[in-house]
Structure 1
């Protein structure tokens, strides 16, 4: 061979792309990853189970959090209806899990709405019907001998429109109104069962329903403080508090703020901490698994790097990590949905589970990319010849 031919020979050969065969580049990457998974099924299974456990922890907490958020929003909508202001007692209100509704903790403040305003005093408490805790409220709009049940409550009690139920020894004919978890009865019946505990619903004068100063105006007239923030509780030494459902700043409605308050109690609790720790452990498991895979296949990748396929090594691991995380995600969210449905069926809905799964899915791309990048980056920092050395 002539010297000129030797000097003109290429010093390296780099493939412009991965051989495509009968499919495209992505299909080749997927086939390569699946082939590697079949060679080491035990590692794949252990990695999937470890990551799926972490995903299940996060999804369970997010599902519970979303369920509480939906419950909180529904419960406050059930209370307010179309009222602009909610005047609660000094003792406040609480959410009763058994009744699945908001309940007053004390007597409603003694107020007299100004001229032009309309106020409805609502008595509130809990009664037992057929072994079920039921939220009972008063209404001056309910005729004697009748009871208005929300559709969800009627379904829970197994009663239909026009049937009769016995409440406090009185027979009442059922009417289904709205979609809530409360039962409205005539005021006299409610007072005999739950006493004077309750709140006021106040309606602004016609044409002024959307004014931002309604709470301040009413507060000045009746001598009560007001707030648009549902996280603020009444002063136990005071007379009560006006919740402003119209005013306030920000894009969120009062109902949405109340919903966020319910959700925040879950995510900031011990459950939220457990889910965060679980997510971190899942990330550690992923990185450890891929790091072990890289170490085991270092000679294989050393050969690939030496013939100019260093970039393709990264693509291989990205696709393989994506497959691992996708399978782990499916296993994790299905297990989480089953666990929540078995443990707290009263709070679990498909909507809450889907939203919890969607929130969890937001973490996956970053975990999959970093889980592959960290080990492969360490690999590619070494020279190909060092990867080929026996250890």
Structure 2
């Protein structure tokens, strides 16, 4: 009887009544996650073809979204840079009634009509910038004029100089004149003297307006200047000038909200891509990738129903959930890495001039925000369906 009593006391020790498997119970001090990872990897090795197909399906969807988001981010960066280059530190921007547009071929903002005419109020300073497009050695380029450029000289941006194969001191023919190139500055075009620019592009251009000294940060600059010159004003870059009017003044410092004028302008570029058919297709592709993953997990649950029934019957229902969460996380992380790296290679090979590494990194970070929710939902749906059944039903043949 003493031997029997000892045996019963041994069976009732906490180690075997915690409701956990020996491996998990032994590792509860810190390596439970590693046990679940090993279990998940073992299941992946047992069904490598399913894992591979799931990863490829999700990766393809992630690649589609990443490519679209990379293009969108590239346009946003380009929009901010182009308007910053056009403003050159001015507080107000007076554009023609025909407006301005971004020409993707020359990678710059171009005026669509003559700059508005007005009488400059006392204390204000303006700079007129002739703007248009011309051909240089058979290549369409953005052309602007400046009073600071001497006749016989042309300032070429470094990016355009690379495209044209031009270095400082070389000659360029613009408007029938041979000019000496100076590779410097920013932007993506050429800048010549104002007189030569007007000969080439006519009256097309815009005004950049600088506030009186000491008033640069006033929030009512646009209203004051607009009232003085009889021009409408706005801080919203999505508002276009009235074609029947004389022009429009954009307020670059007095807008409401946390975003700057440049950021609002770049958001217009980004929104055109994400709201286009291409953006819609990418969202549909991401949804299809999630459906592929969910179908794979449901099939895995159906195949291993008896195994999970045994686990549930001995009190390991929680481990079933954790197991699928870990396996789902592994699947989505691998698919994410394959997808974003494939998208990066695709944009680098196909559209290197548009998609930059910074834009790709922003897109990859944006897509990564979707992964936790997709991995959790992808695991919860099949496991929830599984745990709704009684263990005895899971152990049955049907």
TM-score normalised by structure 2 residue count: 0.93
CA–CA distance in 2 between the matches of 1:182 and 1:7? Answer: 88
Separation (CA, whole Å) in 1 of partners of 2:244 and 2:44: 67
Query: Hey, which bits of structure 1, 4+ residues long, moved more than 3 A?
Result: 4-10, 12-18, 20-23
* TM-score, with structure 1 as normaliser: 0.95
1:216 corresponds in structure 2 to: 223
- Secondary structure of 2:197 counterpart: helix
Change (3 A) 1:176 1:376: same
**Quick one: which of 258, 264, 282 aligns to 1:251?**
258
Q: Which residue of 2 aligns with 1:49?
A: 56
Aligned-pair Cα RMSD in Å: 2.1
| Structure 2 equivalent of residue 121 of structure 1 | 128
* Equivalent in the alignment of 1:294: 301
Q: Quick one: which of 138, 141, 159 aligns to 1:134?
A: 141
Matches within 5 A, 1:1-391: 13-16=17-20, 19=23, 24-391=31-398
TM-fit CA distance, 1:235: 0.5
**Shift, 1:168, TM fit:** 2.2
- Structure 2: distance between partners of 1:113 and 1:290: 70
d(CA) in 2 for partners of 1:57, 1:34: 27
Q: Do the aligned partners of 1:14 and 1:309 also contact (CA within 8 Å) in 2?
A: no
CA deviation map 1:69-102 (0-9, x unaligned): 0010011011011111110000001110110000
What is the distance in 2 between the residues matched to 1:80 and 1:161? 26
Gaps of 5+ in 1: none
Which consecutive unaligned segments of at least 5 residues does structure 2 have? none
Number of residues paired by the alignment? 389
CA distance in 1, matches of 2:342, 2:234: 42
- Superimposed CA distance per residue, residues 104-132 of structure 1 (whole angstroms, 9 cap, x where no aligned partner): 00011112221111111111111112332
**Counterpart contact for 1:14–1:307, Cα < 8 Å:** no
| Secondary structure, counterpart of 1:208 in structure 2 | coil
Instruction: Give the SS at the match of 2:97.
Output: coil
State the SS of the aligned residue for 2:56: helix
SS in 2 for 1:373: helix
